[in-house]
A and B are shown apart, each in its own frame.
Chain A
């Protein structure tokens, strides 16, 4: 049984048909990437999985359990945590409080303390700024905070929306290294990226989204070699 499964998902923004029958699966332990141009529906897909947008058709299942009609906080409680587009950290809360909010629904104090240590070892920068207000962090630090906060929810599936957005190239490398490290610790990841080259570099499989539809799918290595992907998304040939 796949970890996360979307079947024929249709979603709308007002009258705009944003997702026109998206189907995708993520197996336990995989990194799956969703690539595509601006406005293709990548963020909409993540928001629909999270329950922030209610789909008009299709189903979303987490290890067979129906998520389709659940509100966002219920989806979170079932183990789907997200580092959203625009980071959406809590600007007037300290780094510490932001991370505590990530673990809002958990009651296992020991586990929370362990996860806090874990995110601090992955992002030592956050430990240095633990008392600082979220809104005063730099863009890169906010990105780290958003990812760390999502990890504090001890996710079964981690959704990452454009973690490289607006970051310096060196920082992008280190963020992708971190994503790979998280995956090696056993976390299943759905990664939305515009930086298709980097995303396909660390993912197991990928889906190419175009105007609300899945255009191509397959092993990341195969997609990297695909003529069309290379032309359109990797800027080659």
Chain B
């Protein structure tokens, strides 16, 4: 950084401010910052606000569950597990394959699966992703534990590329349906590797509120309910069980935890297992709510969830819950009132702003951390 005189600094800051406002005006219009349209929308259909609140909470619920995986892992080894979004993506694929075993064709030609299959499907999705995430830690992170943090980060990014390609190649199994009827269940994968896969319809899309203008579907309730149950279960586990306490101790001071007789390697593996299982559950939730899975979905979900974790205060479980809900709402309102294609940019902007001005996030870590 070159040293400028205070006067030059003031000038530069003013110029920067003008440039930002100018850019906002130019970019604002295509980015959907169209005040006339926004006011008009709110005036003609004010119920949209409530509708987006519900959609935002449902999407937020999924983001929360993914964000918990980021925050748990960061809390214990201070690593941003860049492969986590891809674990979620593979969770959605696992959920889809689990559902495919119970999928049947309706009279109208669509695919459908029973609700019990979806609920049971959480088990393989969580199991596969939990073991996958713990496996990633064992394979790609553990030996780098005492290396510079950058080395682990690069390893995580590499892992995410590998997993994304696994997701892409999984699609190829759809071609097995041509081999024989025993592979018929793989038709959910379609014939194009890269194309989005459709989930069978599990929940009725009818409005639980009847003809009311605001829609609440069974999927909304299922997603929010599942997220709530998972959050309460995680909180109970971390606060009250022996292993949960060992997790907290390891996160607060790894050396001290080892001195207490805690097998730190085991606890770190457990943390990855739990984070992965949550990502798997989120994969099923996403499939049930949005009806699709595609091999690139891990990136967007990862960006939003990571931002949620940072916004709430990375390493903080309650922070991840708060941040997830906020990002879900932000995305929903941006989709409705700004522009869908800019939503990710807004999320990214939030990430940058939080990192710049409040890196500890909204809830942060309490003081006395490193005492």
Contact = CB atoms under 8 A, between A and B. Distances in A.
A91 B245 contact: no
A90 B368 contact: no
Given A93-B252, A104-B246, A73 B262 contact: yes
Nearest to B266: A73
Contacts of B255: 52, 72, 84, 88
Contacts of A89: 253, 256, 371
Interface in B207-261: 242, 245-246, 248-249, 252-253, 255-261
A82 B369 CA distance: 21
A90 B366 CA distance: 12
Contacts of A82: 259
Q: Is the interface of A mostly helix, strand, loop or mixed?
A: mixed
B256 A92 contact: no
- Which of B263, B264, B365, B371 neighbours the largest number of chain A CB atoms within 10 Å of its CB? B371
B365 to A, nearest CB: 8
Interface residues of B, number: 24
A72 B253 contact: no
B260 A135 contact: no
Give the most central of A91, A134, A153: most B CB within 10 Å: A91
B366 to A, nearest CB: 6
B252 A91 contact: yes
B107 to A, nearest CB: 58
A120 to B, nearest CB: 19
Contacts of A105: 260-261
A150 B260 CA distance: 8
Contacts of A71: 258, 263
Interface string A38-81: 00000000000011100000000000000000011100110001
Contacts of A102: 260
B252 A52 contact: no
A142 B371 contact: yes
B252 A90 contact: yes
Contacts of A88: 253, 255-256, 259
Interface string A166-193: 0000000000000000000000000000
A153 B256 contact: no
B245 A135 contact: no
A135 B369 contact: yes
A76 B261 contact: yes
B370 interface: yes
B147 interface: no
Interface string B262-298: 1110000000000000000000000000000000000
A8 interface: no
A133 B367 CA distance: 11
Contacts of B256: 84, 88-90
Contact of B371 (A51, A101, A135, A153): A135
A92 B252 contact: yes
Contacts of A149: 260
A97 interface: yes
Contacts of B252: 90-93
Contacts of B370: 91
Interface size range of chain A in the complex: 20 to 34
B259 A90 contact: no
Contact of A90 (B249, B263, B264, B365): B249
B248 A73 contact: no
B253 A90 contact: yes
Contacts of A73: 258-264
B366 A135 contact: yes
A1 to B, nearest CB: 24
B259 A92 contact: no
B315 to A, nearest CB: 10
Given A91-B252, A93-B252, A134 B258 contact: no
Given A90-B252, A93-B248, A76 B260 contact: yes
A135 B367 CA distance: 8
B368 A91 contact: yes
B167 to A, nearest CB: 37
Given A90-B248, A92-B252, A101 B260 contact: yes
B371 A81 contact: no
Q: Which 9 A-B pairs have the closest CB atoms?
A: A135-B368, A72-B258, A105-B261, A76-B261, A88-B256, A90-B252, A135-B371, A104-B260, A91-B371
21 contacts: A52-B258, A71-B263, A72-B258, A73-B262, A76-B260, A90-B248, A90-B253, A91-B252, A91-B253, A91-B368, A92-B366, A92-B369, A101-B249, A101-B260, A101-B262, A105-B261, A134-B368, A135-B366, A135-B369, A142-B371, A153-B260
Given A73-B258, A104-B261, 18 more contacts: A71-B263, A76-B260, A81-B259, A87-B371, A88-B255, A89-B256, A90-B249, A90-B256, A91-B366, A91-B370, A92-B365, A100-B245, A101-B249, A104-B260, A104-B262, A105-B260, A133-B366, A135-B371
Interface of B: 242, 245-246, 248-249, 252-253, 255-264, 365-371
